[in-house]
Amino acid sequence: MAHIHHYDAVIVGAGGAGLMAALESGKRVRTAVVSKLYPTRSHTGAAQGGMCAALANVEDDSWEWHAFDTVKGSDFLADQDAVDVMCKEAVDSVLQLERMGLPFNRTPEGKIDQRRFGGHTRNHGEAPVKRACYAADRTGHMILQTLYQQCNKFGVEFYNEFFVLDLIMGDDVCSGIIAYEIATGELHVFHAKSVLFATGGYGKMFKITSNAHTLTGDGPGVVYRKGLPLEDMEFFQFHPTGLYRLGILLSEAARGEGAILRNADGERFMERYAPTIKDLAPRDMVSRAEFFEIKEGRGAGPDKDYILLDLTDVDPEVVETKLPDITEFARTYLGVDPLKEGVPIVPTAHYAMGGIPTNVDAEVLRDHTGAIVPGFYAAGECACVSVHGANRLGTNSLLDIVVFGRRGGVAMAEYASTNPLPDIPDDVHVHTEEWLRSLTEGESEESPHEIHTILQDEMMDKASVLRTEESLLDVLETIGKLRERYGRARVKDRSKVFNTELVEHIELGYLIDMAEALVVSARARTESRGGHYREDHQLREDDHWLKHSFISKAATGETVLNYKDVTLGRYEPVERKY
């Protein structure tokens, strides 16, 4: 038994990308948003530092400089046509958010204020530039709140606490989704002309992560199980400043405002790794530098296993007014006062550059040739356009969700208004129903929690900032064993109402799939580029590897890798120095 709904457009996920798409689509066609969480719980709300756009409100700037920084930051793996679209539309996107009421911080003249951020420079790398528009250190919170306010203003329909389980595909055309209502345990078929996935990332495969518990790769997981490809899965960003042991993020804005990274000797070690922009080098480089410092015995603390983020030379008023949240995080969770002492930090799993492949209109690609899946769209962290390539620059994720959420919303509505609702069989949900039944039948001694913990430990040790053939092969074998154990595990709770054990169980399955896709893609790429660093292949090799990976899973369970050339443009790949 399932409830059936008919819509022109259905959006899965209610973070920034999903809400932006809903606003655009909702103005044009009948639209519903299906979200695992209440919209304001989405992880867009955790983004702190800012959203870059070349407004030039404070210093000279141009969208081309922003594009250059994005391409260079991506280690030349981003598609330059897509980067141009994003950086050009950045200015309008910020102004649009301001018109919706977003409370940006202001300059003395009342214009939107801007500040420095990692990897963003003036005139092709000369010096850091003030490009990040911000609202204290809760920019993502304000974007999420503002978009949710606007969605309510325009009467967008929400199905909150509905968990996506399947994509309906008939004749290679997308025709809806199947979702599980967490409050009741009932299935819902959302029959639609167009579907957009905006489900966010999958950082919960790692032990130390800034990601929410709910970031489990649901959207890409569904896509992968349909036999469709995922792009650039080997590229996962580790943010250099996560709270020690916890992984909670301390924004790069701290370094933008003048904070310095120090090792156990008090040395500002980034001067050795990035002599020009030092602590504001891109995240992949800073995280790697931290790993090397710790590996070479210069880590701070009794176990020499962390780095110190030193804010003691930053004006205390700036810390309290422009960085209030992160100051509170350090005080609350570590009992450390950033005004008085260094904050213990480590790299934390932060952002998936890879995901569901799309073009600049958020249309999902069927394969590495660029063919599309009609009616199917994706935007935000779950998608890969690719504007971030091998390493995303700070603030470009908030920009990505606004720009491509909007483009996706427009495109899906146009598609829905010019195409008929495809037929779907009456029993389209039966397969899902049987799957859920199988998870809640019989007994098992297997502990999903133990499976998850082993996955997180192993991924952190062997597939995070530093990787080798040996470490990746090792973790791949572990994933295979965990998959078998997972297959035997059962959900003990048999209730219908808020069976959150069942939800977590399914989420773990998606995470295992995402880990497999990441590790297989990483093993194949025998070079180092951006967030993917191979100790056994330390150089970038453009002759072989200036291309995007597309991984998919055949019906037999075999993984298949294909590649698609990077779209180049104004900027020829050169060695990346900062």
Pairing of strands 173-181, 230-231: unpaired
The reply on whether position 493 binds another protein by CB under 8 A is yes
Please report how close the Cβ of residue 152 comes to another protein at its closest, in angstroms: 6
Q: What is the DSSP letter of 172?
A: T
Nearest to 76 by CA among 577, 576, 578: 576
Q: Which residues 285-324 are close enough to bind another protein by CB under 8 A?
A: none
Amino acid at 143: I
Rounded Cα gap, residues 180 and 98, in angstroms: 36
Q: Which two tokens stand for residue 421?
A: 């609702």
> Where do we find the tokens 């405002």?
257
Annotated catalytic residue within 115, 283, 288, 392:
283
Question: Closer CB to another protein, residue 440 or residue 559?
Answer: 440
Across the chain, how many H-helices and E-strands are there?
Answer: 16, 20
SS3 253: helix
Q: Which residues 410-449 are close enough to bind another protein by CB under 8 A?
A: 447, 449
Backbone φ, ψ for residue 517 (5° rounding): -60, -40
Binder of another protein out of 3, 27, 60, 103 (CB under 8 A): 103
Interaction mask 75-94, another protein, x per CB under 8 A: -------------------x
Q: Which residues pair with residue 116 across a beta bridge?
A: 130
Find out whether 250 and 241 touch, Cβ atoms under 8 Å: yes
Torsion of CA 373, 377, 382, 383, to 10 degrees: 70
The reply on whether position 145 binds another protein by CB under 8 A is yes
Question: Closer CB to another protein, residue 77 or residue 336?
Answer: 336
Binder of another protein out of 3, 27, 60, 106 (CB under 8 A): 106
The window from 209-217, 301-309, 357-365, 536-544 that contacts another protein (CB under 8 A) reads 209-217
Binder of another protein out of 19, 34, 90, 112 (CB under 8 A): 112
Q: Which two tokens stand for residue 64?
A: 């081309």
SS3 348: strand
Question: Closer CB to another protein, residue 431 or residue 488?
Answer: 488
Binder of another protein out of 7, 63, 65, 104 (CB under 8 A): 104
Q: Which residues 35-64 are close enough to bind another protein by CB under 8 A?
A: 37-38, 40-43, 45-46
Question: Closer CB to another protein, residue 200 or residue 422?
Answer: 200
Find out whether 211 and 217 touch, Cβ atoms under 8 Å: no
Active site residue 283: yes
Binding residues with another protein: total (CB under 8 A): 58
With residue 269 as reference, give the H or E element that holds it: none
Find out whether 552 and 559 touch, Cβ atoms under 8 Å: yes
Question: Closer CB to another protein, residue 498 or residue 563?
Answer: 498
Amino acid at 384: C
Please report how close the Cβ of residue 514 comes to another protein at its closest, in angstroms: 18
Binder of another protein out of 183, 318, 430, 560 (CB under 8 A): 183
Query: Residues 115, 121, 123, CA angle at the centre, nearest 5°?
Result: 130
Please report how close the Cβ of residue 251 comes to another protein at its closest, in angstroms: 12
The window from 230-238, 381-389, 417-425, 490-498 that contacts another protein (CB under 8 A) reads 490-498
Region for residue 530 given its phi and psi (left: phi exceeds 0; alpha: psi -120 to 50; beta: otherwise): left
The reply on whether position 332 binds another protein by CB under 8 A is yes
By CB under 8 A, name the binding residues for another protein.
Answer: 37-38, 40-43, 45-46, 94-95, 98-101, 103-112, 135-136, 138, 141-142, 145, 149-150, 152-153, 183, 212-214, 246, 248, 325, 329, 332-335, 447, 449, 491-493, 495-501
Q: Which residues form the catalytic set?
A: 283
